[in-house]
A = this chain, B = another copy of it.
Amino acid sequence: MIAKRIVALCGGIGGAKLALGLYRALPPDSLTVVVNTGDDFEHLGLSISPDLDTVMYTLAGLDNPETGWGRRNETWTFMRALESLGGTTWFQLGDGDLALHVERTRRLDNGDTLSVITADVAARWGVRARILPMSDQPVRTIIESKDTTLGFQEYFVARRCSPAVTSISFRGVDAASASTKAIQAITSPGTRAVVICPSNPYLSVDPMLALPGLRSAIATTRAPVIAVTPIINEQAVKGPAAKIMAEMGLPVSPVTVARHYAGLIDGFVLDEADFERKEEIVVPVCMAETLMHTLDDKIALARAVCAFAVELAAEPQRRRTSP
């Protein structure tokens, strides 16, 4: 097997874009993607892994470019029929998407691990990147707001991120083991970079960092660790990252993201729109266009990240800051 040289950590839509850029920019066997499973949930008796699915669909070319989630050429007969039965319809499940949930649930019930199922599905769809769920044990992101405690999808989908977040926790994380393959990939001497994709730091990346083995693998790898900003011009490209920062009393800024990863990262990719914030970031900074509309945008950002990694690796003194 050819060594996987770049490891990307990501959540759903935004992170998957850069993962696709890396997949297309690099030789196909060079990429390992470690994916957040904190927003996995059980719904209608099915085990659903939204971030993992988005990454798989995206790398397989089966993704829906209009929504960013789900499958292209999807039909919605199931949801309409479920509605007519009085079933729960706040979480949209396309007919084709459902096949993945039904088959995964069946195999999990049969004793297969999420890692094995994911690898099988990716292989069947011809994906040559290695896609790894962060853990094979359930970790569930829980959102606390002043009035209520919500599971991630209740917060994110059913409530459309409207409750003000007071804290976020990861149920099950103490009993869960990080993916052994992810740890090996991150710490392997052959790894040329670990890339924290422009995913939500609190909702998509923190669940991974909450796994002790994964955090320490990132902290100790000799490969440069690079985070790409999900915040441009005081706004999140997508999702509630900026809203959560404000609710937690943090400045809505890429600097807040860089500080969040202090002690873990060797470099930070800042959007060109935020050039004037560069001096506030204590690790080396790479300026890039981080908005990814087209495949070319994704590949260009991926190449900028890889070039930055080469540059950081060549530096005689590593600048990883302490927490």
**Chain A: residues with CB nearer than 8 A to chain B?**
44-46, 71, 73-75, 77-82, 84-87, 94-100, 102-103, 105-106, 109, 120-121, 124-125
Chain B nearest CB from A245 CB (Å) reads 37
Chain B nearest CB from A250 CB (Å) reads 40
Contact B98 A78 (CB under 8 A): yes
Query: Which B residues are in CB contact (< 8 Å) with A75?
Result: 75, 77, 95
In the bound complex, what is the Cα–Cα distance between A82 and B105 (angstroms)?
A: 13
Known: A77-B96, A95-B75, A99-B78. A120 touches B86 (CB 8 A): yes
Chain B nearest CB from A183 CB (Å) reads 28
By beta carbon, the residue of chain B nearest A104 is B85
In the bound complex, what is the Cα–Cα distance between A156 and B139 (angstroms)?
A: 42
Query: Which B residues are in CB contact (< 8 Å) with A121?
Result: 85
Known: A78-B95, A96-B77. A45 touches B85 (CB 8 A): no
Chain B nearest CB from A109 CB (Å) reads 6
Say whether chain A's binding surface is mostly helix, strand, loop, or mixed. helix
A-B contact pairs, 28 of them (CB 8 A): A44-B102, A44-B103, A44-B106, A45-B45, A45-B105, A75-B75, A75-B95, A77-B77, A78-B95, A78-B96, A78-B99, A80-B96, A81-B95, A81-B98, A81-B99, A81-B100, A82-B102, A82-B103, A84-B124, A85-B99, A85-B100, A85-B103, A85-B121, A86-B120, A87-B99, A87-B102, A87-B103, A87-B106
In the bound complex, what is the Cα–Cα distance between A98 and B103 (angstroms)?
A: 13
In the bound complex, what is the Cα–Cα distance between A99 and B77 (angstroms)?
A: 9
Q: Known pairs A77-B95, A84-B99; list 5 more (Cβ under 8 Å).
A: A45-B102, A77-B94, A77-B96, A81-B98, A86-B120
Chain B CB within 10 A, most for which of A79, A87, A105: A87
Contact of A46 among B85, B100, B102, B120 (CB under 8 A): B102
In the bound complex, what is the Cα–Cα distance between A85 and B100 (angstroms)?
A: 7
Contact A45 B99 (CB under 8 A): no
By beta carbon, the residue of chain B nearest A73 is B77
Ranked nearest first, the 3 interchain pairs of A and B with the lowest CB-CB distance are A81-B99, A77-B95, A81-B96
Query: Which B residues are in CB contact (< 8 Å) with A100?
Result: 81, 85
Contact A84 B44 (CB under 8 A): no
Query: Which B residues are in CB contact (< 8 Å) with A87?
Result: 99, 102-103, 106
In the bound complex, what is the Cα–Cα distance between A45 and B101 (angstroms)?
A: 11
By beta carbon, the residue of chain B nearest A110 is B45
Query: Which B residues are in CB contact (< 8 Å) with A80?
Result: 96
Chain B nearest CB from A15 CB (Å) reads 23
In the bound complex, what is the Cα–Cα distance between A106 and B97 (angstroms)?
A: 18
By beta carbon, the residue of chain B nearest A109 is B45
Query: Which B residues are in CB contact (< 8 Å) with A73?
Result: 77
Contact A84 B125 (CB under 8 A): yes
Query: Which B residues are in CB contact (< 8 Å) with A124?
Result: 84-86
Chain B nearest CB from A141 CB (Å) reads 23
